[in-house]
């Protein structure tokens, strides 16, 4: 749509200049009419004004932001190449262009070309926002102390009764493989995979399950069945999520910290607002003067006020991608635990 609007805007501007010449006006008058309904005529100017009224601010906002991002990244061409490579890989993994096109349509993500453009903008946004993240030792230490939560991993066997769970534990203690018993007995969808669950973090599993995983050493199997709302679990802890010293995992913690800032839309909006402000954007159309003003205002507000304003921002700063839709760990692990 934004490309169509650009074409409309260009045509309207060209016609304004050409109408100054009477001879050319007669030639172009018919071209200026894009639809006729009886005696009613719809001109390009009518169309442009209607589109501007409904989509003008959001379209101009997107165009300005993309232009500012392209001027702010180190190599926009490299970002475009990376986006094309990423989409090509997704097309291959999905089974070809036809299947991938259907997936995009199902999620209302447009064509492959449009989706590639979304990824391109997302990569540029990620680059400029990442540069503004405070990765000092103090910031990383604060994140590690207050927010960092290691992932946990476990296998489990879910049965209906305590007796069944005790019998499974006895078989495991007798030397039978946990995986084989899970495949045979477990009522959970993870049974086919030997009861193996996707990695999870604090709060993603029911409390009883999570506490049992944390209470065991890695490699241990529960000797008492763990009861939850879903039945009785026999749990083998693969990784109990115990925090390693920061010095040993600093790179991992730093990457997670940066990811958390990228996911913080308030932080991203503030970075974007500052970029727009420094770019000295001039909007000449009075009707579209406020297209980016809310983002600039966010950049100049205290963090607490900006967080409140974020909730009322009428349009997202860029077309959102759905890379994250390929893996939703929270949903997946919760289903597995059920």
CATH number, domain containing residue 217: 3.10.50.40
Residue 178 located in a structural domain? yes
Give the pLDDT band (50/70/90) at residue 187.
very high
Residue 196 lies in a domain: yes
In a domain, residue 238? The reply is yes
Q: Answer yes or no: is 266 within a domain.
A: no
The predicted pLDDT at position 5 comes to 25
- Which residue range is the domain that position 192 belongs to? 153-242
Is the confidence at residue 173, as pLDDT, over 70? yes
User: 327 or 250: whose pLDDT is higher?
Assistant: 250
Residue 51 in any domain: the answer is no
Residue 260 located in a structural domain:
no
pLDDT mean across residues, the chain: 81
Choice between 10 and 133, residue whose per-residue pLDDT is larger: 133
Q: What is the pLDDT of residue 30?
A: 55
* Residue 202 neighbours by CB under 8 Å, 6+ apart: 149, 210, 241
Q: If you average pLDDT over residues 40-58, what whole number do you get?
A: 90
In this structure, is residue 41 part of a structural domain? no
pTM over 0.85: no
Structural domain contains residue 136:
no
**CA–CA distances in Å: residue 254 to residues 140, 141, 259, 270, 328:** 6, 9, 9, 21, 22
Domain count, the chain: 1
Sheet holding 153-159, edge to edge: 153-159, 231-239, 226-228
- What secondary structure letter does DSSP report for 150? -
Q: pLDDT, tens digit, for every residue of 59-78?
A: 898 899 899 999 999 999 99
């Amino acid at each position: 749509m934004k490309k169509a609007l650009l074409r409309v805007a260009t045509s309207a501007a060209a016609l304004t200049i050409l109408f100054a010449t009477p001879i050319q006006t007669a030639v172009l008058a018919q071209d200026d009419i894009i639809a006729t309904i009886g005696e009613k005529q719809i001109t390009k100017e009518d169309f442009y004004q209607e589109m501007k009224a409904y989509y003008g601010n959001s379209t101009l906002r997107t165009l300005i932001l993309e232009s500012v991002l392209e001027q702010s990244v180190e190599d926009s061409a490299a970002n475009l190449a990376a986006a094309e490579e990423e989409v090509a890989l997704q097309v291959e993994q999905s089974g070809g262009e036809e299947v991938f096109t259907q997936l995009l349509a199902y999620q209302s993500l447009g064509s492959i070309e449009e989706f590639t453009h979304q990824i391109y903008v997302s990569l540029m946004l990620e680059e400029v926002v990442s540069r503004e993240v405070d990765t000092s030792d103090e910031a990383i230490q604060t994140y590690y102390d207050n927010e960092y939560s290691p992932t946990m991993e476990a296998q489990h066997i879910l049965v209906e009764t305590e007796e069944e769970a005790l019998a499974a534990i006895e078989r495991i203690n007798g030397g039978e493989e946990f995986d084989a018993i899970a495949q045979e007995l477990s009522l959970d969808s993870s049974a086919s995979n030997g009861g193996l669950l996707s990695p999870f973090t604090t709060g993603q599993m029911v409390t009883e399950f999570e506490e049992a995983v944390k209470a065991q050493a890695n490699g241990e199997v529960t000797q008492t069945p763990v009861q939850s709302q879903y039945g009785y679990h026999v749990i083998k802890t693969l990784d109990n999520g115990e925090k390693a010293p920061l010095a040993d995992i600093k790179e991992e913690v730093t990457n997670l910290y940066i990811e958390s800032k990228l996911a913080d839309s308030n932080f991203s909006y503030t970075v974007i607002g500052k970029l727009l402000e420094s770019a000295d954007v001039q909007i000449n159309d009075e009707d579209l003067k406020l297209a980016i003003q809310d983002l600039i205002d966010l950049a100049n507000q205290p963090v607490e006020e900006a967080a409140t304003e974020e909730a009322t921002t009428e349009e997202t700063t860029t077309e959102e991608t759905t890379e994250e839709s390929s893996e939703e760990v929270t949903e997946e692990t919760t289903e597995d635990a059920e």
